[in-house]
Amino acid sequence: MEMTDMRCSGALSNAAWALVVLAFAQGGAAHAQAQAVQGDAEAGAELYAAQCKGCHTVSIAPTLRGVADRPIASVGGFGGYSEGLRARSAQKWTAENLDAFLSAPVVFAPGSRMVMAVPDVQARADLIAYIRSLPPPREGR
C-alpha cells in the first residue's frame, strides 16, 4: 500500500513539473508573440492610469519616466528593489525585458514587489508603447 502511495505522489510530482514546464513554454511563446504586436501609447496611457499609477506616482515604486533602455534597478534614491531585479542590473529595460517583466513579474525577478501581471499581449504592448513615449524625469524628481 505504501508503495502505491509513493508512485501516486511521484506521478503527481511529475504532473506538477510538466505544468511548470508548459507554463514557461507558453510564456516564451507569449513574448515572441508580443514582439509582433504594435503597441498604442494612448491605450497604454489609459491602462497605466487604471492599473499602474497608484504605485508608480508615489514612493512605493520608482518612476517609469525614462525607464526605456535604462539599466534595470537603477533609479537613484529608490531602495525598494528586490534581489531579483538587482540581479538583473547589468541588463536594460528593453521592450523585450519590459514585456517579460509585465507578463510575469515574479518569474522575471523573483521576490519582486510587483505582483500584478499583465497577461494580455496587446495590453502589454500598449503599456510598453506608453512607457517608451514618456520623457525622462525632470531634475530633482
Number of structural domains, the chain?
Answer: 1
- Flag whether 140 is in a domain: no
Cβ within 8 Å of residue 42, ≥6 positions away = 130
Are 124 and 116 a contacting pair, CB within 8 Å?
no
Give residue 119's domain range. 2-133
In tens, the pLDDT along 51-82 reads 887 777 655 678 888 889 999 999 888 888 99
The answer to whether residue 141 sits within a structural domain is: no
pLDDT confidence of residue 137: 77
Q: What is the pLDDT of residue 19?
A: 43
Residue range 97-112, pLDDT digits in tens: 999 999 999 999 999 9
Measured distance CA(98)–CA(93) in Å, rounded: 6
What CA–CA distance (Å, rounded) separates 23 from 15?
12
Asked if residue 127 is part of any domain, the answer here is yes
Evaluate if residue 129 carries a pLDDT over 80: yes
C-alpha 134/C-alpha 12 separation (Å) is: 47
**What is the reported pLDDT for 42?**
92
Amino acid at 66: G
pLDDT per position as a tens digit, 131-140: 999 888 776 5
**What residues pair up with 71 in beta bridges, in sequence order?**
92
Predicted confidence at residue 83, as pLDDT, reads 95
CATH of the domain at 28: 1.10.760.10
